[in-house]
Chains A and B, each alone.
Chain A
Amino acid sequence: MSDTPTPQNTNSAIQFDELPDAPPKRKIKLSLLGKIGVVVLIFWAIVVAIGPMIAPYHEADILDEELFIVPGSDEMYPDTDFQPPSKIVLLGSDYLGRDTLSRILFGARTTIGISFIATTLAYLLGVLLGIAAAVGSKRLDMILSRLNDALLSIPSIMFALVMIAALGSTIPLLILLTGIIYATSVFRIARSLGQEVMVSDFVEAARVRGEGLWWIITREILPNIAMPLATDFGLRFVWVILFISALSFLGLGVQPPMSDWGSMVKENLPGLIYGSVAPIMPALAIATLTISVNMIVDDISAHTGGKLAKRMIA
């Protein structure tokens, strides 16, 4: 077999150029589930933007009994609470006879808005301190990390309950509390991502060049950890929604008459006995939003090789 003929030796004129290292990275391709997630997310974004404008009633409106009078019947005072879905109230009415659909449309702004601001706050705090711990001295890292561990060790709902009980439930306090509680886990992720990039050769190259810390953080580190952080933002946002809904469910979150999905579930819980859909609908709203964000995050982290998912458990 030693004399296997050499294949086409004719094109000796071809240039032996340096071959490319590897085919360029693939772009993120969303799966079907991911695409559905994006559609649902866009839907809720639109609701946040124009919800109160398209809502048939105001969130605090207790519907007039006259609306429910069936033409031809002689009933003067019909029940307005826990009405089943009809032309008048598309998703039924709640325990006070308010329109569930309108309250969900209004509540989207409160729930999503508060959660979004709180998550952003958590990110500002967590990333700032996390990167500081990653690039700073060992001592600073030690102090910040132990403080963070201490905060993490307090059960978050308990912590929030105590603080709200002491200071009263206002929306700014709610945002601040949630922001601080979730900043602890963001801190950990930002710190570990930052540490990884900090020891890379290109950061060392910047240090040898004499670059300042601020330049290294903003130009070398942040662009390289932005992607995993953005993905984590999605997940964290979901948890914040659930957390705020849980607080509202306990009556410590958003206060009436403002509507909020979590408190809507709680208020209308007795309606389950009458087969009312009033507690189901806001729960569905929470579920669709959180699951859709999750599906998108799953797609992205599958693309990055699942490395991300492991870190987020921390």
Chain B
Amino acid sequence: MSVLLEVDHLKISARKDDDNLTPIVKGVSFNVARGEVIALIGESGSGKTTIALAALGYTKPGLEFTGGQVRLEGEDVITMASDQLRALRGQRVAYLAQSAAATFNPALTIGEQVTESCVLHGILNQEQANERAEFLYRALELPDPDRLGKRYPHQVSGGQLQRLMAATALCGKPDLLVLDEPTTALDVTTQIEVLKAFKSVIKQEGSAAIYVTHDLSVVAQIADHIVVLYAGEVQEHGSAEQVVSHPGHDYTRRLMHAVRPPPAAGQGEETSSEHRREDPALEVIDIVAGYGKARDGTPAITVLRDVNVSIERGHTVGVIGESGCGKSTLARVMAGLLPAAQGKVLLDGDTLQPTLEKRSRSELQKVQFVFQMADTALNPRQRIDHILGRPLEFYLGLKGKEKRRRIGELLQMVELPQEFAGRYPEELSGGQKQRVNLARALAASPEVLLCDEVISALDSIVGANVIELLKRLRKQTGVSFVFISHDLSTVASFADEIVVLYAGRVMEKGTTDAVLSPPYHPYTRLLISSVPELRVGWLEETMQTQEAQAGIDRVVTLTDTGCPFFDRCPLAIRDTCDRETAPARQLGAGHAIECHRSEAEFVH
């Protein structure tokens, strides 16, 4: 294989206020051969994106090249003049950003955007480009390839947009593709489809690729070689097989350790019995909720339908489902942010007022909400001690010395150093901010903690640390958790009970072990089988299963009649599933599955 790109002792530094240079990338070398996929893996801050962008001769503002070369077919791209670079970018090297939704212009048709770059560079004329685009739509298995180009970005799903990004990048037949976390923001079911499409199209086109990610199990599916980075230095470099099965470096092993095993029965940590009591701490009964003006108890857009969940004291209930299934809406109803149109929320057996304003301060104190994005959930203009001090003052009336002591304790509880009290959120890393976010909720001494995707935005190692912290806190404080996530492996390792939501309906609920072992609801089965495993060749095997073929890459659609999962279900019964609401089958010990199929039919 001939070498396409040589990264040779690349050094990139950031220029600070005082004109001192801080090295970000410290002499990194690796090669990319034609037709080969190289994965750059590491946590945020490891310099992986910076290195990948260097392949385009680009650095983010504030950064500069301080040494080494990046040679594309022997030519150094760092020293290229800007008109040479313009010809290079989009033509020989193409870049795929993380969020397709933010990259596409909503006012232009998909076809215009996919073909724009290669027509502009004069590689193809518009007609040829359209043909090429259509060919790529087919190769990427996008629906309705003949007419897709005429549609607008909002008319296709997120996973399809991500694949369209690939079409845009590949349209000009580039030698090298740079993919920056292209599947990180996607649901597991969508991720599989996108990965599969990327893999086959890269093979078919014979172009080389640099794949940037923090997720080792994704890398195992798509990369030929893996470069493990930490703090701007290469820690390990080898073939995917070798790195995944025989990691040679401590840091790689740590990354592997952070990858949670595929969800299976028996992973849930039993909550210690001292905190357990039978009466529920928080209970929602027959909740119907949604957005828009309610008429006769039905909102304009109904998201949740007849949802019943009860959280026992000291228990953790995991709520799982793809984006759009109503997980966050459920948490918002519990917190009082969104009043339910029908149904009741009970706290300690007493009915809670549906709206925040009418709930008493002690009721508010008992149910605390932990927001998904610590970046936006902490006021950037408040110091950490203010952020943590306010709930102490507000709910518990602590002041002065007592308050300061408690802030110190809270910081200790979430394993942050005491001096962080004087810092602003922007001076903290993502994981540290999420810890502060948790500490703020704990400051209220709540009974129930609603955690909405608290680790979804974090790197695998950082996320694993936060989960460890949550487990410890649960033991220490006996707080009940509602743990919302789209990541089944996280929920499996943390929750006592699991509620599987789809399009606002509870598909299955029961103890973690019961939900994660047969009999499965078809949707649960799809979710379980979509979680990538850390081994080479998993992707190909999974694509063969009937769940995957029926259910991947579809959007969650809300339906008024029948079972909403009907169109993705391999076991769907025509004229029954799409017309009649599925019955809830009690399978003992609080385990219930909502499906028209009988228990015997689930087992396979």
Contacts and interface: CB of A to CB of B under 8 A. Distances in A.
A224 B379 contact: yes
Interface string A215-235: 000011001100000000000
A211 B376 CA distance: 18
Q: How large is the interface on A (under 10, 10 to 19, 20 to 34, 35 or more residues)?
A: 35 or more
Given A16-B254, A26-B17, A208-B335, A1 B238 contact: no
Interface stretch (A75-83, A150-158, A183-191, A197-205): A197-205
A4 B22 contact: no
Contacts of A201: 371-373, 376-377
Interface of A: 1-9, 12, 16, 18-21, 23-27, 29, 200-202, 204-205, 207-211, 219-220, 223-224
Given A208-B364, A210-B359, A224-B379, A2 B238 contact: yes
Nearest to B236: A6
A223 B235 CA distance: 43
30 contacts: A1-B31, A2-B238, A4-B29, A6-B238, A6-B248, A6-B249, A7-B29, A12-B250, A16-B230, A16-B251, A18-B429, A20-B428, A21-B45, A25-B426, A26-B62, A201-B372, A202-B378, A202-B379, A204-B337, A205-B377, A207-B337, A208-B335, A208-B336, A208-B364, A208-B368, A210-B356, A210-B361, A210-B394, A220-B379, A224-B380
Contacts of B373: 201
Contacts of B538: none
Contacts of B377: 201-202, 205
Contact of A209 (B249, B251, B390): B390
A204 B234 CA distance: 42
Contacts of A16: 230, 250-251, 254, 461
B536 interface: no
B381 interface: yes
Contacts of A210: 356, 359, 361, 364, 394
A33 B233 CA distance: 41
Interface residues of B, number: 67
B432 interface: yes
B225 A19 contact: no
A20 B234 contact: no
B508 interface: no
Given A4-B31, A201-B377, A202-B376, 7 more contacts: A6-B235, A9-B235, A18-B43, A201-B376, A209-B394, A210-B364, A224-B380
Contacts of B22: 23
Contact of B429 (A6, A21, A202, A208): A21
Contacts of A202: 376-379
Contacts of B427: 24
Nearest to A203: B379
A11 B432 CA distance: 26
Contacts of B17: 26-27, 29
A205 B235 contact: no
Top 10 A-B pairs ranked by shortest CB distance?
A19-B45, A223-B381, A201-B377, A201-B376, A210-B364, A202-B379, A1-B31, A21-B429, A201-B371, A208-B369
A49 B337 CA distance: 53
A18 to B, nearest CB: 5
A6 B234 contact: yes
Contacts, number: 114
Nearest to B371: A201
Interface in B229-248: 230-231, 233-239, 248
B431 interface: yes
Contacts of A21: 44-45, 428-430, 433
Interface in B1-49: 1, 3, 14, 16-17, 22, 27, 29-31, 33, 43-46
Nearest to B224: A2
B462 interface: yes
B376 A209 contact: no
A291 to B, nearest CB: 28
Nearest to B381: A223
Contacts of B395: 209
A12 B253 CA distance: 12
Interface string B319-349: 0000000000000000111000000000000
Contacts of B361: 210
Interface string B356-374: 1001010010001101110
A313 B372 CA distance: 34
Interface in B219-273: 225, 230-231, 233-239, 248-251, 254
A183 to B, nearest CB: 25
Nearest to A224: B381
Contacts of A20: 45, 428-429
Contacts of A24: 426-427
B250 to A, nearest CB: 5
Nearest to A208: B369
B371 A205 contact: yes
A29 B230 CA distance: 32
B352 to A, nearest CB: 13
Given A201-B377, A202-B377, A224-B379, A18 B431 contact: yes
Contacts of B444: 209
A19 B43 contact: yes
B426 A9 contact: no
Contact of B46 (A3, A5, A19, A29): A19
B381 A2 contact: no
Contacts of A7: 27, 29, 233-234
B67 interface: no
Contact of A19 (B44, B239, B391, B440): B44
